[in-house]
Chains A and B, each alone.
Chain A
């Protein structure tokens, strides 16, 4: 391991270091703001390294000025080829750091209820993010597996952080089901290793290419079973049907900031791995995956949205909504998988754009709900009654987020759906797009029901609780981003498009 490797791994290393600094800060009997202060300000260090490293693998200037010809994207392997530094990984690392920063900021007031365990809360979220960053960068199966565990185990502890029965149940459920998913994933990896003789994605690609050229993958049962088991393992992470069983209970039981983090970062990390593994290692088998992903997408969207209609608890509602959104993202994945040579340009960046759009939107929704629940102390949708009068700006922010989840312009959710559906049409998946569009209509019903309650029902009381400034800032930042990216999607789309170029 050379000093250069350390530089290439600096975002992960520095984030872990910041996490340990938070531990130290927690031990010191300092002022109340010390722990969150160190955590949030400390995030600037990994962020700085990410920006620096992007400069290594791409031109910053070409983003700002399209006239400058863009340098060919490339990937720097590090740690004996187990990890890669490329724009794809850096895109996701940025996403994770951003989510961590916003989640920590929003939970400034929320962590009061953890009293002594405030420090641990920050540390665990950061360590989980380290795991996710490694997931996005991993190019080798064992590394990916370890990274996945590193990201999951802190989340298990965090899910149980609430301390009450429901939270403990959430933690246990996540642990047990997560362990099963890990086992399935590991078994899938083993089979793939047994067939290809390597755990390195590039080497697997070569081995698969040699055998599968021209043959149907299902003609190679061993490999097919291995890959399907891996899909199941990753499907757990992204909360797609039929691996979604844990989602509602864990989302409902976990403390709100944890749910927010889980729904955004954990899902994005799962997609990062899926994209990396499938489009590096199993490139020559792609067309088959298109059908598989399209099938999962169709079921996820439909089941997620239909079950969401019946929910009365807002956390469960968003849990089913997140399942549905995993479906929309898989539409994008299916589109990329069934691409032909002439449509590479449109398909690939759209999925990453969708992930980014979903991240801001869902964070905005969760932050607004956190702020509203500071007032209502209830998770029931009906308790949001009259919120437009009690807290007009929060009601507006939550409405914007929900409209974005529905996919109504001028929000970023609309643009994201537009791009993903466009990519799918281009890939001859018109049936899937039609289904997705119908699903959007279904989802309008339950998202708008929340808006309706906030704006139409009379408030039950008019009590106004004191404001938590950092939480309000995170609500404002994300809600404004939802609109801004909806009106001006160009920059994010451009970055997303470049991030995937060397993968696809």
Chain B
């Protein structure tokens, strides 16, 4: 089952390259078909995961892959990864539908987009360290091509910067995971979670730091974030959606899956530094966001701030034994899910506006709401979710993070709440200057979204509102995942 989920997009990509003709319509609809099938599959997988039972389920396993180093083909999901499979399914479909206007080299484009989806799915489903790493690296190639061929602006520079940053992170990670392997002789992540990794070939603090750097670059956390505004701004819309929606989540997922659950002792010692980095990311990211006049760059920079909340939630493990609760970690995971759909939607809408208006310069825009009401509603919903309005997914996530973190780091959490305030500022400012205000002669010809363009916004809006109104649908699963390793933090 999971094998099908992971490799279906890859099969689709190969089909597009090898078998399909040069007809753009055919390629688009074929890709959309794969996207829909993948979306349905991801819902089935998510629904099949029994969060009451917890643990790892739906395992696909071939033990004898590379016996010499005990590398296995091992896919499985637990509460931590199941919602991310769903998220990848949603955003993969949204990405394909927001690529409808791609004009050049469409075969390659959709093939790479599907390969990217396979890689991300693989990262969330892999339970063998090397397999995890292979998917982690595999994602670089499609991203590199997607940004550098179909991007805009300084696209080649941004693509290379993205690649070198991530590759540097994975170099550290590789050293870390090899050290773990040669200390305990297994790459099986389901077993590593229960092992005592305090006595490794290298100091476990160092190994922790190697993984942390790898994931912090991806998340991204200040001061490793500088690749993100460039990559986001210059990437095509669908790639920004995937990048913000799921690729950043790989970083947070890795922190939870590896740093926290495999190195609980080190992670608890590192809680205060993590909280400080988090609050710097939140505030610095928010302040930089205020300075942006490019719509896409603005959304990109807000991601730095929002992902800071993820790290803040993780730092809640620094609380004293009596106050320690899984709510902060669950909140961090929720924030990732929420940010995935919210920022995904923001990027989709920025893409729609740019397609029609051919500018992303905020001062040039204005009064778009009357010309494109549906788009404006979607943009507004995404904006309000981004600032954490109750009833949207953003609120549920942020409140859980603050609840979990406050007992651990009171002052730092208080500082972090300023980030929410700032978010309200820049989001409302952006929405007001783009959608409302005086109408301009220039934009009189703008039309609203077409039916095809409306698919992605509707899908993501539905996700935002469903999770906002009934967060338990996702948070219960996350909590089951957190509970699987949480006792180790207590003990």
Contact = CB atoms under 8 A, between A and B. Distances in A.
Contacts of B164: 441, 444-445
A421 B138 contact: no
B66 A490 contact: yes
A67 to B, nearest CB: 12
B179 A430 contact: yes
B224 interface: no
A422 B178 contact: yes
Contacts of A433: 174-175, 178
A425 B68 CA distance: 15
A96 interface: no
Contact of A425 (B133, B148, B201): B201
B140 interface: yes
Contacts of A448: 144, 160, 163
Interface in B121-136: 130, 133-134
A455 B149 contact: yes
Interface stretch (A30-38, A153-161, A226-234, A408-416): A408-416
Contacts of A490: 64-68
Given A425-B182, A444-B167, A408 B175 contact: no
A455 B65 CA distance: 34
Contacts of B168: 438, 441
Contacts of A418: 69, 130, 174, 178
B321 interface: no
Given A409-B137, A422-B178, A456-B148, A441 B171 contact: yes
Nearest to A445: B164
B130 to A, nearest CB: 7
B145 interface: yes
A162 interface: no
B167 A493 contact: no
A502 interface: no
Contacts of B202: 430
A422 B182 contact: yes
B181 interface: yes
A223 B148 CA distance: 56
Listed residue (B66, B68, B137, B181) with the most chain A CB atoms within 10 angstroms of its CB:
B68
A346 B67 contact: no
Contacts of B65: 490
A403 B141 contact: yes
A381 to B, nearest CB: 15
A437 interface: yes
A66 B171 CA distance: 34
Nearest to A349: B68
A410 B69 contact: no
Contacts, number: 93
Interface in A397-439: 403, 408-410, 414-415, 418-419, 421-422, 425-426, 428, 430, 433-434, 437-438
Contacts of B167: 440-441, 444
A410 B172 CA distance: 19
Contacts of B182: 343, 346, 422, 425-426
Interface in B201-215: 201-202
Interface in A474-502: 489-490, 493-494, 497
Listed residue (A345, A419, A430, A456) with the most chain B CB atoms within 10 angstroms of its CB:
A430
Given A438-B171, A452-B156, A456-B148, A346 B68 contact: yes
Nearest to A350: B68
A425 B184 CA distance: 13
Interface in A339-364: 343, 345-346, 349
B432 to A, nearest CB: 39
A446 to B, nearest CB: 11
Nearest to B65: A490
A318 to B, nearest CB: 20
A42 B160 CA distance: 47
Contacts of A434: 171-172, 175
Contacts of A410: 134, 138
Interface in B63-84: 64-69
Interface in B144-174: 144-145, 148-149, 156, 160, 163-164, 167-168, 171-172, 174
Contact of A430 (B133, B148, B201): B201
Contacts of A422: 69, 178, 181-182
Contacts of A426: 182, 201
Listed residue (B64, B66, B179) with the most chain A CB atoms within 10 angstroms of its CB:
B66
Q: What DSSP secondary structure best describes chain B's contact surface?
A: helix
A402 to B, nearest CB: 11
Nearest to A442: B164
Nearest to A345: B68
Interface in B39-69: 64-69
Nearest to B133: A409
Contacts of B66: 415, 489-490, 493
A438 B144 CA distance: 19
A492 to B, nearest CB: 11
A434 B210 CA distance: 10
A414 B164 CA distance: 16
A418 B171 CA distance: 11
Contact of A493 (B68, B130, B134): B68
A414 B137 contact: yes
A430 B67 CA distance: 23
Nearest to B180: A425
A409 B156 contact: no
A433 B171 CA distance: 9
A425 B130 contact: no
Contacts of A444: 163-164, 167
Interface string B183-211: 00000000000000000011000000000
A243 B133 CA distance: 35
B40 to A, nearest CB: 27
Nearest to A440: B171
Contact of B171 (A428, A437, A452): A437
Given A409-B138, A418-B174, A425-B178, A456 B163 contact: no
Contacts of B130: 418
Contacts of A419: 68-69
A493 B172 CA distance: 25
Contact of B145 (A430, A437, A445, A455): A455
A346 B172 CA distance: 21
Interface string A96-108: 0000000000000
B134 A409 contact: yes
A444 B161 CA distance: 11
B69 A346 contact: yes
Listed residue (A345, A419, A434, A448) with the most chain B CB atoms within 10 angstroms of its CB:
A448
A422 B164 CA distance: 22
A415 B66 CA distance: 10
A420 to B, nearest CB: 10
Nearest to B131: A409
A452 B148 contact: yes
A415 B137 CA distance: 12
Nearest to B130: A418
Interface of B: 64-69, 130, 133-134, 137-138, 140-141, 144-145, 148-149, 156, 160, 163-164, 167-168, 171-172, 174-175, 178-179, 181-182, 201-202
17 contacts: A409-B137, A414-B134, A419-B68, A419-B69, A421-B175, A425-B179, A425-B201, A426-B182, A426-B201, A430-B179, A433-B175, A433-B178, A441-B167, A456-B149, A456-B156, A489-B66, A490-B66
Minimum-distance CB pairs A-B, first 7: A437-B171, A409-B134, A425-B178, A426-B182, A441-B167, A422-B178, A441-B168
Given A410-B134, A428-B201, A438-B168, 18 more contacts: A343-B182, A349-B68, A408-B138, A408-B140, A408-B141, A414-B137, A419-B69, A421-B178, A422-B69, A425-B201, A433-B174, A433-B178, A441-B164, A448-B163, A456-B149, A456-B156, A490-B68, A494-B68
Interface of A: 66, 343, 345-346, 349, 403, 408-410, 414-415, 418-419, 421-422, 425-426, 428, 430, 433-434, 437-438, 440-441, 444-445, 448, 452, 455-456, 489-490, 493-494, 497
